[in-house]
Amino acid sequence: MRSLDELDAAVAGCRACPRLVAWREGVAGTKAAFRGQEYWARPVPGFGPPDASLAVVGLAPSAHGGNRTGRMFTGDPSGDFLFQVLYEVGLASQPTSTAVGDGLELYGTRLVSPVRCAPPANKPTPAERDTCRPWLAEELALLRPTLRAIVVLGAFGWQALLPVLEAAGWAVPRPRPAFTHGAVLELGDLRVFGCYHVSPRNVQTHRVTHAMVADVFRAATSVTAPD
């Protein structure tokens, strides 16, 4: 099995989905606030240490966030919200994530996504999700020796994750449990937590609040904390 660094390099070179390749490259530099900036414009690898006990599963990079900066949840409003929470619960070294090289470190936490390229309208197709699935499966396999909890942000991530866990040998119930905010799924040595996605729409409509997300992460860290 290759290392996480080797996996990350392979992810960044993927061109398997023509629609996503065209979008991620075509959108680079088109937004006025970022015009003239050099965009990453490639698939975005996971971010965090190789011995993480907690994984955070999102949806996909945003066009002017991860697709611009090259780091998961970095440079967009969703990331601004998420990293503030991670910092407050002791999982990040600072409350902001603006660019690669900004000094940010994650503690025992790895950010991953089921789809690694920015999709149009933030909506990957089922076929794109399935094409990208082996990257998620391999990343979770590499994390498995230390992985104790997963926080899943949104229904898309939940639906993408459960088949991966099942294929890896975790005993996922049948029928597969539906996503809800606050859901907790116990799979032997692994606990999976459902959390509404921290998208601008969910935040602005108060479907999800800072306190709601912080509560989920505190519950997850209670599982991963050393005895």
* Tens digit of each residue's pLDDT (9 = 90 or more) over 73-115: 999 999 999 999 999 999 999 999 999 999 999 999 999 999 9
For the chain, give me the number of helices (H) and strands (E)? 8, 5
For the chain, what percent of residues have pLDDT higher than 90?
Answer: 93
Alpha-carbon span 99 to 66, nearest angstrom: 9
pLDDT of residue 227 exceeding 80 = no
Query: What is residue 121's DSSP assignment?
Result: G
| Greatest extent of the chain over all pairs of C-alpha atoms, in Å | 50
The model's pLDDT over 5-57, given as tens digits with 9 standing for 90+, comes to 999 999 999 999 999 999 999 999 889 889 889 999 999 999 999 999 999 99
Q: Which residues pair with 109 in a beta bridge?
A: 54
Q: Which residue has the tokens 């619960």?
A: 89
Its pTM stands at: 0.96
